[in-house]
Structure 1
Amino acid sequence: MKSKILKFLVIFFLLFDVNFKQLPGFTTSRVIFSGLMLHFLLNKSGPKFSLSLNKNLVRFSLILGIIFIIAILQYVFSSDITQMGRLTYFTMYGIITPFILIKYFKSRKEFVLIVGFASLTQAILTLCSYFIPIFKDFFNDLILYNSNFGEENLMRARGFVSVAGATFSVIQFCGVASFLIYLRYYSKSNITTLLIWCALIVIIISILFIGRTGLFLSLVALLLYIISNKISIKKAIIWAIVFFSFFQLNFLTLLEKFTTNIDGYNTELFVAWIDSGFRINNDLVEGLSEMPIPKLSYSTIIGTGLVKGPNGEGNASGHDTGYIQSYYSMGLIFAIIFYLSYYLLLISLVKKSRDFVGFILVLVLVLIESKEFFIFSYTYPFFLLSFILIGQNFNKITNINKFNNNSPIIN
């Protein structure tokens, strides 16, 4: 039991990196990473990696090292250390930490359950901070937030984590994906299934107030889950009744009832904000289309080294897309090399084990990077590589396929 609790705390504070106002810089993920590294180095026992896996990792590590050296040279001319920091933390959390975690997790089943419950815990805390002012005030006094909106924004939720908005919503999506994977591929009782679905509903409701990116991904994941299951006529009827009953609820009335104690809250603005996210020509699409793409020049080919604006704030590239920001900072050549080598590493891992779910999760990363810099937000890359490696490592250790040969996905 103690081991489970410890693993839960490790995953929770890696996923939801908290930067406390009283201890700025000593974020929970940095503390957890330091502890994991120390324990890993002192304890030499554990699973070994295959030679082919090492080759893939070494190839990408060499490229990452070269890009880091280039980033140091770019820093000399730009005086912007942000890209170096991004590469450092990406290496720590997106590459090193997943390889450490396979030493401690017995199976992918255990991993997705803990990620799911971590997301559920965060969902409860976030909803409390959204609807109960005393919770919100407590979090605002405790946590150093890194978001593009302040506490005066009543429509967007901020939880027990320093990030907010789209980045926060994608982290919560990891919990949704984890619980759906558990439901799809692992044996469970009817009671467990019911409890997991209740947890999923709570997490998705929390995402509704956090950000539309994670909400859209979660709804697509639900659709894929339903399509991938062979549903009998009886189950189809039950699903239809549940969905019909669910949509009979007057959500606007419920929202108004729960927000009566929040001064200045406007339910119509909130509904309009959510609704706009599901239109073809929404504010996000229009906003991205209007953002300038830096012209191709000598400086953008070799890299400007700039991520922050001239005053140390904002966005030097003028574009939210992660690909454009990396192109402007790293340079066109090195940005292409970085993204291609990273994606090829991930694809080679999922291809090796015929991991279809892993492939879908890689595809999600490729797509969402076109919205914001999610790769250098570290959390989703951490979840993705951990998910892939823990499943493969379990295969190597046990050499047991718990599922039929037609389902080459989950371990």
Structure 2
Amino acid sequence: MGVAEVNRSIDAVWRIESGRVIAALAGLVRDVSWAEELAQDALVAALEQWPRDGVPTNPGAWLTAVGKRRAIDGLRHRQVRDRKVAELGRDLGEGAFTPDFDAAFEDTIDDDLLRLIFTACHPVLTPQARAALTLRMVGGLKTEEIARAFLVPESTMAQRITRAKKTLAEAGVPFEVPGTADRPQRLASVLEVTYLIFNEGYAATAGQDWMRPALCEDALRLARMLQTLMPDEAEVHGLAALLEIQASRTAARTDAAGEPVLLLEQDRRRWDHLLIRRGLAALERARTSSDQAGPYTLQAEIAACHARARTAEETDWARIAASYTELAQVAPSPVVELNRAVAVSFADGPAAGLAVARPLASEPALARYHLLPAVLGDLLAKLGRYDEAAAEFTRAAELTGNAREQALLRDRAADCTAGVPPRR
């Protein structure tokens, strides 16, 4: 195997194993920031040794063992008590790559990985900081990759990640799975971060691209990981179901020129039916895990209605509107109400939808939300009120930072100004 091929293998191994390695090291040293430094040191050692010696059978265990050795050296350098050094030395053992070590690595890593996820997603951090730290530590992304995904300079993202680590340290956030009392709030934070990462990839808030699929894939990988780590949590399966079904539409969401294709205009033959089946299976697990559906499970139910419809005309809009009503009771928000307005418009007509959507114009939370005027424009156009629709589409275009979406909204405004229904 050539050096270039080995380096590609190392990149792939790091993307897959880094979260597990950092988690295992953090479980030992109880310091997430230091654990990441140790893991990076182990990666440097791999880049030096694997091209010469070959990729080990269990690369994750190899990286963890090297990180543990560096931890021992660091503890000695810091003149930590002999007892702690001896304790870490016993954990490492004489034969780092024996079957016993590898078995122990596999047996304990899931608990440490779960601790790492809860730590990286701690509510003491902002949602953006949580997302960046999670992608860095759990997802194995490089700082420049995360910066590129969120369209910020690499230096800005590096500072964001550094501040996040410092905040965790200053707040004394323990490296542990939260207890029963704190678990619902902390789990909600983990799920929020996963969904935030997915949404930034699925409908990019800025830039030239309609989507950034790599971010969707990272969020999906995290959601599937959470399913394995927390199989009894209904909302974990609900979120996974929602992401699987939404991701199934990726190939159909743009045309050959990269222009957006809206849901009801998509070629459903291009949907990924394997992902749909995975999503429906996850939805079933969510439903059987709890008598009460949470917000992600309810959103997955809505996505499933679209997935089950063979054509746009077969969509069960009455059921979708009812699900949004239920969602508004569980997790009330102006955005949920706006989505309910769209569903009502398809179930009962554009006038009924407009009656739900129009009062939302006074909601402060939606003052800069471009989808509100986009929905209003669509409903007004369907009612033949083209001048009003054109004004709403123009406002929506001004509010979005995504170039593809701006172009679509301006085209709609131009059609309405010409007194014709929007072509797309």
Same fold (TM over 0.5): no
Normalised to the residue count of structure 2, the TM-score between the two structures is 0.27
| More relative contact order, 1 or 2 (CA 8 Å, 6+ apart) | 1
Which has the higher Rg, Structure 1 or Structure 2?
2
Normalised to the residue count of structure 1, the TM-score between the two structures is 0.27
